[in-house]
A and B are shown apart, each in its own frame.
Chain A
């Protein structure tokens, strides 16, 4: 350990050094298996394309869904998928904690003097998910071009706020999922309902949801902040009951809420964990 931290990259990067070293090695490792990585990139691209395809198939049959037309939905889809794919890339593997517990990997994280969450984050950043981000960016750019948008400083600020908060919200939800895995080793699939389910809900016009779902995805698992509310604000559309469009400006507050819960759950999970010995 001591030798490693005095090595070249460590000297320049200070406290972040161990993370950078691990992340770099993970990224290098993924690229070194060329064929498999290429397949993964194609797989991730197909995930993005089929999700967009599902939306498109619905709009092949109807012109308006939940008050949004297809151009508006492109913007919605781009924003939500940008946040989700980046959040998933950095944090998505954290909910694999049952696997880490089973193989004893988690013990190794406990032994090192860095925060476990930070170590887990950099332990397996999934570059293959980048092609999904590509689909999201393409949809977002298309959405920004085809819609009649009143461009101004506030639009740009809102877009940046949304992009950053979206990654934070989805990343935080993956931390929720990871933290709950300490307790849910056998029922881990529950957390898919707010990670993947949250992403699915985020890419829909929330006005179509019954009240219970509006409240759930509006205020408890606040994914409507990652795309739906900003889309309404940017296109100057009114929001449905319970979700007025001015809420779009509170997107950072939603991110803070998600991370507040994430930190509490994570601490509780770590305390709950008892090693399998060995």
Chain B
């Protein structure tokens, strides 16, 4: 039974990967826009490092550049847009079909999203970092450990992003129109996850506010681990915090899907 479930999830992940790979032109368009935004962001933050005398909250020109291009590379995978397919399926009632399947709804959607994210890293993620390396210049760790832990951290970040979007989209069980809530999520999440400015640059109170949310664990944490800003025990601690958030948000999603299911009314059929 468990093995069968895992196999189904693996198949869903593969389906997510393949579905994404059919939109290659859209990927290229996304990469182009990622790179343009990367240039603008790099200009701002490099100017800030220069203005601060070459050192800004531990960032130098090379490391802030790594932050910019890693975040540009991860945007496609973590997808901070606030929307998730589940919201649309709740609205149209198609979610009823999901409930009929012998798989957990949340796990099934997560598997598909991980497949999608894995694909985006190839045509969008890696090239973004390469463009940054070639044009602006950046430093990446030379040892293996940050990359191994970084891979785990990216996986947790992508999962957390999905689980957060999933939970917020389930608001659709109670309010019909979720666009307002999801766009609000996208804005707040983008800011507090360190998408535009590293969370480390936030003043104390804003940093504390961000740390009280799962958002920095979505983007800032994987960047910190991958770029080698946090290593050793600190790196493990960052990943542990991510794991705690993943579990917490997953539990919230499970509770919402169970209570929401009782409110679901499907017309006809």
Contact = CB atoms under 8 A, between A and B. Distances in A.
A33 B197 contact: no
A205 B141 CA distance: 32
Interface string A151-162: 000000000000
Question: Most B CB atoms within 10 A — which of A33, A42, A189, A197?
Answer: A189
Contacts of B177: 33, 35-36
Nearest to B23: A186
A57 B206 CA distance: 9
B48 A58 contact: yes
Interface string B15-37: 00000000101101110110011
A62 B52 CA distance: 6
Given A36-B180, A64-B51, A204-B40, A197 B29 contact: no
- Which of the four size classes fits the interface of chain B? 35 or more
B187 A47 contact: yes
B213 interface: no
Contact of A193 (B32, B47, B183, B201): B32
A137 interface: no
A17 interface: no
Interface in A130-160: none
A43 B187 contact: yes
A46 B33 contact: no
- Identify whether the interface residues of B are mostly helix, strand, loop, or mixed: helix
- Identify whether the interface residues of A are mostly helix, strand, loop, or mixed: helix
A60 B33 contact: no
A188 interface: yes
Nearest to B196: A54
Nearest to B59: A61
Contacts of B40: 197, 200-201, 204, 209, 213
B203 interface: yes
Given A40-B183, A43-B183, A200-B40, A60 B190 contact: no
Interface of A: 33, 35-36, 38-40, 42-43, 46-47, 50, 53-54, 57-58, 60-66, 184, 186-190, 192-194, 197, 200-201, 204-205, 208-210, 213
5 contacts: A62-B56, A65-B47, A189-B26, A197-B33, A204-B44
Interface of B: 23, 25-26, 28-30, 32-33, 36-37, 39-40, 43-48, 51-52, 56-57, 175, 177, 179-181, 183-184, 187-188, 190-191, 196-197, 201-203, 206
